Every structure is written in structure tokens, then in C-alpha cells.
Amino acid sequence: MKYTGLMSSSKPRGQYAKGAERREQIIQMATDVFATEGFEGAALKRVAELVGVKEATLFHYFRGKQELLTAVLAERDRRSLAAIEEKEVGLSLMVRSAERNRREPGLTTLYAVASATANDPGHDSHGYFKERYAEVVDALAADIERRQTTGETRSDLPARNLARLVVAVSDGLQLQWLYDKDVDVADGLSEFIDALLKPQAQT
């Protein structure tokens, strides 16, 4: 994450470092608060209180609310990657991430809402989501292709097409979860992967 517009380059190095440190503190605190309390209503006020500044001061370190929300989503990804085991890649990581999302409803809602509104190239989160979708599809396609070579999964469809279907179902289940918290995204995704990738019967 670049600190674009954080502080003037004419200010002393020490002040820049202090500003960068405060920005990181805000991101960490906002990620913690949004995870359980959501990101609407008084959430930003709560973040400011915990950091020890006024709410308006938060945006001395960000261009606006959307840039802060994007930074929080990036931090969510960083934490998720730090928590995974080395053996968890591709499809298994996708399901594990869905399980983690259930424990962080506020961040999961933030992701779903932001992803649905960031299609405009001028949106602060557009680059984040475009890059993230590309990385997820690449990782899933590589995992599926590996499984195809060993006969673990069907090979009658291109790995990348199957990867995009997995992402589509994951996002679709997550959207339904926004309206019905009884929807189990992890279980539904796991069941879909098992059905979709089942090797075709031998004739």
C-alpha cells in the first residue's frame, strides 16, 4: 500500500515516519473494530476513540472513507495469509477462508458491499478488487490443473473455467448470507467443489 498524499515530501523524515505509523495504527484498529462491529454507524467514531484522535483526524491519513476501507480489506487479506498452513492452497484455502469469514461478519459484509460497488475504474477500491480476483482465479486454476493431471478432478473442462465457477459460487453464497445468516458459505462451497470437480465416470 502506497502512502499517496499522506504528507508533504517537504516535511522532515521523522514526521513522515510518525504519520505512517499512525496510519498503520488506524488500519489495525479499524480492522479489529469492523470485524465484529461492522463499518457503518458509529464504527469510525469508535476507531477514532481507540486510536485517541477525533473522527475527522482519521482522514488526515487517508483521501477518504473508501481508501481507509480498502486498506482494511488489504489488512484482512494479510492476516488471513499469515494464519494459513503451508499445505492450504487453492481450493482448500478457499473453503478455509469462508470459514474464517463467518467469524468476522463485519469484514465479510464490508468485502461484499465494496466489491459490488467498485467496478468503476475511478473507485478507490477498483484496483484492489481487480488484482485480487485475478490472483484468486490464477491460484485456483493452478490447483485444479494440478489435480487434473493426477486424476483427482474432472478434466473435460479448462481449469480456469472451473476456477471462475468456484469464485462465482463463493461470491453468490456470500451475497445470500448478507440476507440470511443461516446460509453456510463454507459448507455450500465445499459441497459445490466436490460436485463440480468430481472426475467424470469411466465408460
pLDDT tens digits, residue range 37-73? 888 878 889 999 999 988 888 888 888 888 899 999 9
Q: How far apart are CA 92 and CA 172, in angstroms?
A: 18
User: Which pLDDT value is given to residue 137?
Assistant: 96
If pLDDT is split at 50, 70 and 90, which confidence band does 7 have?
A: very low
pLDDT at 5 over 50: no
Q: What pLDDT was estimated at residue 58?
A: 87
Q: Which residue has the higher pLDDT, 77 or 88?
A: 77
Q: How confident is the model at residue 14 (pLDDT cuts 50, 70, 90)?
A: low
Give 181-193 pLDDT, tens digit per residue.
Answer: 999 999 999 999 9
At 155, which amino acid appears? S
Of 4-18, 87-101, 126-140, which one has max mean pLDDT?
126-140
* The three grid cell numbers given for residue 94, joined into one nine-digit string: 478457499
**With bands split at pLDDT 50, 70 and 90, how would you rate the model's confidence at 13?**
low
Which residue in this structure is represented by grid cell 454507524?
41
Q: Which residue pairs, CB below 8 angstroms and at least 24 apart, start in 147-155?
A: 147/91, 147/197, 151/199, 152/197, 152/199, 153/197, 153/198, 153/199, 154/196, 154/197, 154/198, 154/199, 154/200, 155/199, 155/200
* Arithmetic mean of pLDDT, 18-28: 89
- In which element (H, E) is residue 51 found? helix 43-51
What domains does the chain contain, in order, with CATH numbers?
A: 1-64 (1.10.10.60), 84-203 (no CATH)
Q: What is the 3-state secondary structure (H, E, C) of 59-100?
A: HHCCCCHHHHHHHHHHHHHHHHHHHCCCCCCHHHHHHHHHHH
